[in-house]
């Protein structure tokens, strides 16, 4: 709830302590800190475009004739990129939470239900247990392979994109061409593009590993150092 978010911010300010949560978005990348610096220095956020799921980026970078969708989902779980229940990533909920944080840190009053979610897997596959999900997810492999072939013929790539502009947010699977900054986003990397009043002609880009235990732990440790240096 937005009210809880504001209460935590207010409480931290009243107690004179820091309220840090950098790794909530982009693991160890300085995504939130950079946004805070922009806003605190008087800049205005006009638009945010981002690939915020290292899990989904890994999946869509790995899909191939040899690696079907269901295979890549299992690989993401085994490599530690996905949540223990990968449906949290596949549903887009994780990305919704992240763009919600960035929107709020930009100064906008937004709730999760305000964000439009375009799922790429039918709702029926999100019911039941995790084991049941893995048993039936292969049913969509053939459809995804046909879509992948058409995508490859066009020379485009899939990216699960979060978009925020003029107080409205949306997340979903998009096809991006070679000219787009998201096109060459490797592995499980994240990329955030901030368009602001100062950075309009040439928006600010933040790119790097967006998933994995080591970079996330490093981000948490960095926040701990900031708190201890108060």
Residues tagged active-site: 98
Nearest-angstrom CA–CA distance, 88 and 117: 13
The distance of Cα 175 from the centroid of its chain, to the nearest Å, equals: 16
Nearest-angstrom CA–CA distance, 1 and 22: 19
The distance of Cα 47 from the centroid of its chain, to the nearest Å, equals: 15
Q: In the structure encoding, which two tokens stand for residue 126, read together?
A: 């999100």
Q: Are 185 and 158 in contact (CB under 8 A)?
A: no
Q: Would you tell me how many other CB atoms lie within 10 Å of the CB of residue 218?
A: 14
Residue 35's SS3 state is helix
């Amino acid at each position: 709830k937005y009210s809880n978010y504001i209460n935590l911010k207010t409480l931290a300010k009243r107690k004179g302590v820091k309220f840090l949560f950098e790794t909530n978005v982009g693991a160890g990348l300085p995504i939130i800190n950079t946004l805070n610096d922009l806003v605190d220095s008087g800049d205005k956020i006009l638009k945010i475009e981002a690939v915020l799921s290292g899990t989904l980026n890994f999946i869509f970078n790995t899909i191939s004739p040899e690696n079907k969708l269901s295979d890549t989902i299992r690989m993401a779980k085994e490599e530690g990129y996905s949540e223990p229940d990968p449906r949290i990533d596949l549903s887009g909920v994780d990305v919704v939470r992240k763009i919600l944080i960035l929107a709020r840190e930009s100064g906008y009053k937004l709730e999760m239900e305000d964000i439009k979610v375009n799922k790429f897997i039918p709702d029926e596959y999100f019911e039941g247990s995790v084991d049941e999900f893995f048993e039936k997810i292969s049913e969509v492999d053939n459809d995804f392979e046909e879509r992948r072939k058409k995508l490859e013929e066009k020379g485009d790539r899939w990216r699960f994109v979060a978009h925020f502009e003029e107080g409205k947010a949306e997340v979903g699977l998009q096809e991006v061409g070679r000219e787009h900054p998201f096109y060459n986003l490797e592995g499980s990397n994240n990329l955030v593009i901030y368009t602001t009043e100062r950075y309009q002609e040439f928006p600010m880009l933040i790119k790097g590993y967006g998933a994995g235990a080591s970079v996330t732990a490093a981000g948490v440790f960095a926040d701990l150092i900031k708190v201890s240096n108060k």
